[in-house]
Amino acid sequence: MVALNLLVPTKKRSFIFYDRAAILLDPDEMAAQRVRISVEIFATPVSRSLNLKYPYSKEFYGYAQGFFTGILTHEFPINYSTQYIWDYWNEHATIASQLASVLARIRQFLLASIQVQTALANNIEPTLGDLMDASFDIIEELTNGLTFDNVPEGQPVGIGDRILNTFVHPFDLIRFKFVFGTVFLVDIESWNLVDTTGSFSPPPWPDELPYNPGNPNGDPPESTPGAADPENPYGALPPDSSPRDPRLDPSEYSNAPDPEPPLGTVNLQGWQIPAIPGQQTAGFAVGCPAGSLADSIPPLASVQNEVNLGVFPISQDAMGRVSEAEVLAAFPGFAFGDNFFAADTNCGVTGTF
């Protein structure tokens, strides 16, 4: 049997969601000997209401519910900002795995006994044949219904690829629901006993546990604006949300905020237009980079004595809009509405933000 690290799971999955979500357990977790689920509240709009009767003061953030084939089986109130809400041990699978390991060693003993008896039989074929036939029958009976993953080649026929029969995890889907404006993390850890042969010594318990002596009451979740600011319910820099499971109904999830569009840059060129009495008024022009003002903005081809202010990179969002503030900073004196802004699709600009 594989020696498990008692403090480190064989598998861990982590999710970050907003307000509500649903998570399907995968096949490894459904068949694991142990499954542990924890929740951490990153941010919440809930005002703290502490029940100080408990050594670790109790609050309320939301609920989780477990379902098996669509039927409710478990309910978990989430009363702490960091909490293990579920720790399941499949005792039947653990005992069955240990039993399989013991019987695997009996099988190895019987095979070794055959080799010893072969030497003692001095090649008396009937006695040896009878002994081996009887031993194979014993092996067949002892190992029926068990699995052996590391059976070396050349072993007696009849062991086969058996399945260790046991139960599965009591729920296959867990749903979460919190107050609008909550950002939360879910960790699902599982321990799987894979092989039924090999090492049988339990791992040593560590001398020093990774225990944090800090008071957990001193680390409350960040406060979020919540319904007070529907345009920005999760704060200025919320973490990325985990992907939604396409096998589930989209209504299982709340509307996580769309990520900010990625910023790029685009080069824009500016010109200062001097006043000429009776011919042109003073002003500025910003357009796509070109050799001259006439090349960049053809309607201004008649302008005289223009001063080239240079080309500057301006931040641009995913929609092709450029930063109005950066345009004003790059070309001091320019004013939208009073001057010419002719940067367009020729240089990939669709407007300003």
**In the predicted model, what is the mean pLDDT of residues 209-215?**
63
Do 268 and 347 lie in one domain? The reply is: yes
Residue 63 located in a structural domain: yes
pLDDT value at residue 199: 45
* pLDDT tens, position by position, 268-279: 999 999 998 888
pLDDT value at residue 17: 93
pLDDT interval class at 64 (50, 70, 90): very high
Whole-number Cα distances in Å, 312 to 17, 247, 330, 343, 348: 40, 48, 7, 13, 15
The residue range of the domain holding 287 is 264-352
Residue 240 located in a structural domain: yes
Percent of the chain with pLDDT over 70: 66
| pLDDT exceeds 80 at position 106 | no
Do 272 and 342 lie in one domain? The reply is: yes
Structure tokens at 160: 């086969």
CA distance 48 to 90: 37
Identify the weakest region by mean pLDDT among 26-35, 56-65, 219-228.
219-228
| pLDDT exceeds 70 at position 209 | no
Domains: count for the chain: 2
Identify the weakest region by mean pLDDT among 60-64, 80-84, 212-216.
212-216
CA distance 319 to 260: 11
CA distance 170 to 122: 56
Residue 333 located in a structural domain: yes
* pLDDT tens, position by position, 151-173: 455 554 344 445 566 778 999 99
* Pair 234, 224: CB distance under 8 Å: yes
* Pair 339, 270: CB distance under 8 Å: no
Do 178 and 71 lie in one domain? The reply is: yes
**In the predicted model, what is the mean pLDDT of residues 45-74?**
88
Residue 95 located in a structural domain: no
| pLDDT exceeds 50 at position 60 | yes
Do 83 and 187 lie in one domain? The reply is: yes
Picking from 71, 48, 51, 72, the residue whose alpha carbon sits closest to that of residue 61 is: 48
Do 341 and 274 lie in one domain? The reply is: yes
Do 197 and 329 lie in one domain? The reply is: no
pLDDT interval class at 52 (50, 70, 90): confident
pLDDT value at residue 157: 39
**In the predicted model, what is the mean pLDDT of residues 287-306?**
90
pLDDT interval class at 249 (50, 70, 90): confident
| Reported pTM | 0.58
| pLDDT exceeds 70 at position 20 | yes
CA distance 274 to 303: 9
Last residue of a domain, one of 252, 274, 290: 252
Residue 259 located in a structural domain: no
| pLDDT exceeds 70 at position 88 | yes
Residue 140 located in a structural domain: no
Structure tokens at 129: 């044949």
| pLDDT averaged over every residue in the chain | 78
Do 203 and 304 lie in one domain? The reply is: no
Picking from 214, 216, 210, the residue whose alpha carbon sits closest to that of residue 8 is: 210
Structure tokens at 183: 């950002």
| pLDDT exceeds 60 at position 310 | yes
* pLDDT tens, position by position, 178-201: 988 889 999 999 988 755 444 445
Q: List residues bridging with 270 in a β-sheet.
A: 286, 310
Residue 195 located in a structural domain: yes
Last residue of a domain, one of 186, 220, 252: 252
Do 210 and 344 lie in one domain? The reply is: no
Do 72 and 177 lie in one domain? The reply is: yes
pLDDT value at residue 239: 77
pLDDT value at residue 146: 53
Residues 6+ apart with CB under 8 A from 171: 25, 66, 67, 68, 73, 74
**In the predicted model, what is the mean pLDDT of residues 34-62?**
88
Last residue of a domain, one of 252, 285, 304: 252
**In the predicted model, what is the mean pLDDT of residues 62-89?**
93
Residue 172 located in a structural domain: yes
Do 278 and 307 lie in one domain? The reply is: yes
Q: What is the 3-state secondary structure (H, E, C) of the chain?
A: CCCCCCCCCCEEEEEEEECEEEEECCHHHHCCCEEEEEEEEEEECCCCCCECCCCCCECCCEEEEEEECCEEEEEEEECCCEEEEEEEECHHHHHHHHHHHHHHHHHHHHHHHHHHHHHHHCCCHHHHHHHHHHHHHHHHHHHCCCCCCCCCCCCCCCCCCCCCCCCCCCCCEEEEEECCCCEEEEEEEEECCCCCCCCCCCCCCCCCCCCCCCCHHHCCCEECCHHHCCCCCCCCCCCCCCCCCCCCCHHHCCCCCCCCCCCEEEEEEEEEECCECCCECCEEEEECCCCCHHHHCHHHCCCCCCEEEEEEEEEECCCCEECHHHHHHHCCCCCECCEEECCCHHHCCCEEC
Do 17 and 75 lie in one domain? The reply is: yes
Do 247 and 181 lie in one domain? The reply is: yes
pLDDT interval class at 119 (50, 70, 90): low
| pLDDT exceeds 60 at position 228 | no
Q: How far is CA 165 from the centre of its chain?
A: 31
